[in-house]
Amino acid sequence: MSVKRIDHIAIVVSDIDEATAFYRDVLGLPVAHTERVDEQEVIVACLPTGDSDIELIQPVDETSGVAKYLAKHGPGIHHICLEVEDIEQSLADLKAAGVKLINREPTIGAGGKRIAFLHPKSAHGVLIELSEAAK
Ligand code: CO
């Protein structure tokens, strides 16, 4: 598996408008776009910081994994996304290495990109997302 860069760092928030106002108006980051990602049951605001983005994510219902995370831990860093060349190859390599996966097959994330999550138990307590580079 070949990692190209950090695609984004995702921060879970309970109020995306309030959080966006802080990151945009106080920290001065641009807001590239906001979208609802039905597959992940979240609203995402994407704030570019050079080669990587900060993503603010707010759950849209109470039963999703993100909503449960927010209820348990409060707002904060939720996951780090690594961009990989080939997500299928990466998942095959990780399976072969015995890594615990949340998504054994790619699913759809923000921007329609193909993504998959690794289980934090296999990554020293960090939820890691893989995202395939746009071709
Ligand atoms: Co993400």
pLDDT of residue 135: 66
Determine what percent of the chain is predicted with pLDDT higher than 90.
Answer: 86
Residue 35, token pair as written in the block: 């979208």
Residue 93, token pair as written in the block: 């390599």
pLDDT of residue 40: 84
Q: 86, 92 in Cβ contact below 8 A?
A: no
Predicted confidence (pLDDT) per residue in 25-42, tens digit:
999 999 999 999 888 899
The answer to whether residue 121 scores a pLDDT higher than 70 is yes
Coil, strand or helix: which one is 129?
Answer: strand
Q: What spacing in Å lies between the alpha carbon of 40 and ligand 1's midpoint?
A: 9
Residue range 3-132, CATH number: 3.10.180.10
Q: What spacing in Å lies between the alpha carbon of 98 and ligand 1's midpoint?
A: 23
- At residue 133 the predicted structure's pLDDT band, cuts being 50, 70 and 90, is confident
Confidence (pTM): 0.92
pLDDT of residue 35: 94
The length of the chain, given as a count of residues: 135
Residue 33, token pair as written in the block: 């776009």
Residues with CB under 5 A from ligand 1 (ion): 10, 81, 129
CA dist 12 and 122 (Å) reads 21
Provide mean pLDDT across the span 10-24: 97
Q: What spacing in Å lies between the alpha carbon of 85 and ligand 1's midpoint?
A: 16
Least confident of 31-40, 49-58, 70-79: 31-40
Tell me the domain boundaries of the chain.
3-132
The answer to whether residue 90 scores a pLDDT higher than 90 is yes
Give the distance, in angstroms, between the CA of residue 36 and the centroid of all CA atoms in the same chain. Answer: 13
Q: What spacing in Å lies between the alpha carbon of 131 and ligand 1's midpoint?
A: 8
The answer to whether residue 24 scores a pLDDT higher than 70 is yes
Residue 28, token pair as written in the block: 């001065």
The answer to whether residue 110 scores a pLDDT higher than 90 is no
Q: What spacing in Å lies between the alpha carbon of 45 and ligand 1's midpoint?
A: 11
Question: Cβ neighbours of residue 132 under 8 Å, at least 6 residues apart?
Answer: 83, 84, 85, 86, 87, 106, 113, 114, 115
